[in-house]
Amino acid sequence: MSEENWKNEVPKGIRKIFEYCQSVGGTISGEHGVGFVQKDFLDVVMTPTHFHLLKGIKHSF
C-alpha cells in the first residue's frame, strides 16, 4: 500500500469499523481507554457537548 493510500484510505476504514461498533451498542475504547488511533475518531461516539464537559473536567484538575 502506498504511503498516500495509508494516510488517506486507512482512516476511512477505521472510521467505518468504529461506526459499526457504535451502531451495535459498542464503543471505541479498549481495555486501557482510548488510545492513539482512537482519539481521532471520538466524534463517532461523543457529541461536542461531551467534549466540552470532558475538557472542563480535565481543566479542573
In tens, the pLDDT along 41-59 reads 889 988 999 989 989 999 9
Q: Residue 37: its pLDDT value, please? A: 74
Rounded to whole angstroms, how far apart are CA atoms 5 and 19?
A: 21
Q: Residue 51: its pLDDT value, please? A: 87
CA distances from 51 to 2, 23, 26 (A): 34, 20, 19
The residue segments making up the domain with residue 41 are 3-60
Q: Which of 1-10, 19-28, 33-42, 45-54 shows the lowest per-residue confidence on average (mean pLDDT)?
A: 33-42
Hey, CA dihedral for 26, 17, 38, 55, is it positive or negative? negative
Q: pLDDT tier at 20 (50, 70, 90 boundaries)?
A: very high
Q: How many structural domains compose the chain? A: 1
Q: Which residues pair with 33 in a beta bridge?
A: 30
